[in-house]
């Protein structure tokens, strides 16, 4: 079985290394042109779906919905890869649900996305590493009558240092976020996607998942889990209309 590391627009992007200069038009000219092209070709876009503009977009490979604009929930959306996913999805017309623990940065992303793409953006401020946070997120979505058609589990962090010397509680918090929260949200939303016969989940992994990582032992192990977990679910959901990828 072939398994791909995390990517955006076809590029391998390690989570902790991804950034772009302030004010830059995202990852490449193709993405930066989306906001200009979409209004010009609105009818064609609605008729043909996101592939009309970006045939190689990973979100397109995840699913082809009955409606052209399924709702995308992104965790860790206040910067980095999560913010990039928000721009890619919004550029295709998807309504967004953005989740992160940093309120100011989350609202900054929301403002930029709305101004650039004019799509609905809901923000939910939560630290998913905390006990009960996933329940709180589910309750908030239910209260707002929202449900994700595509889930992007991007929230995560890493620590550098020898495992025996790093604070134990911080390493366990890493497991809580990188593994437990990702698993919780995947297992929470996957049954509904299978029931309706459509949906997609992207669990952001890393090239770290392919090998052990001295001085980042727990982080590398969490990414290996993400890859193994997602690949197994990919096999389990074949033919269901739901796609899982990293």
* Alpha-carbon distances of 5 from 17, 66, 246, rounded to whole Å: 14, 28, 6
Task: Note whether 123 and 106 are within 8 A (CB).
Answer: yes
Closest CA to 89 of 50, 52, 56, 141: 50
Beta bridge partners of residue 151, listed in sequence order: 73, 201
Which of 45, 117, 219, 225 is catalytic? The answer is 219
What is d(CA 66, CA 117) in angstroms, rounded to the nearest whole number?
A: 22
Tokens of 79: 């910067």
Helix (H, G, I), strand (E, B) or coil at 100: strand
54-76-142 Cα angle (round to 5): 95
66-185-138 Cα angle (round to 5): 85
Residue linked to tokens 């001085």 = 215
Question: Is 219 a known active-site residue?
Answer: yes
Active site residues: 219
């Amino acid at each position: 079985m072939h398994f791909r590391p995390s990517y955006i627009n076809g590029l391998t992007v390690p989570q902790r290394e991804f950034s772009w200069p302030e004010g830059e038009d995202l990852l490449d000219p193709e993405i930066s042109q989306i906001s200009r092209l979409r209004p010009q070709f609105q009818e064609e876009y609605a008729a043909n779906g996101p592939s009309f503009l970006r045939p190689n977009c990973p979100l397109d490979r995840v699913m082809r919905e009955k409606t052209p604009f399924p709702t995308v929930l992104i965790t860790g959306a206040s910067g980095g890869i999560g913010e990039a996913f928000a721009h890619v999805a919004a550029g295709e017309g998807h309504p967004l649900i953005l989740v992160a623990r940093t309120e100011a940065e989350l609202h900054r992303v929301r403002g930029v996305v709305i101004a650039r793409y004019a799509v609905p953006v809901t923000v939910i401020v939560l630290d998913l590493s905390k006990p009960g946070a996933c329940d709180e997120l589910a309750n908030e979505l239910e209260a707002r009558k929202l449900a994700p058609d595509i889930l992007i589990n991007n929230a995560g962090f890493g620590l550098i240092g020898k495992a025996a010397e790093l604070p134990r509680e911080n390493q366990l918090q890493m497991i809580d976020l990188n593994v437990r929260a990702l698993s919780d949200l995947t297992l929470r939303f996957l049954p509904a996607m299978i029931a309706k016969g459509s949906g997609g989940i992207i669990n952001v992994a890393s090239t770290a998942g392919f090998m052990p990582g001295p001085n980042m032992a727990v982080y590398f192990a969490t990414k290996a889990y993400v890859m193994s977990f997602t690949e197994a679910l990919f096999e389990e959901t074949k033919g269901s209309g739901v796609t899982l990828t990293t």
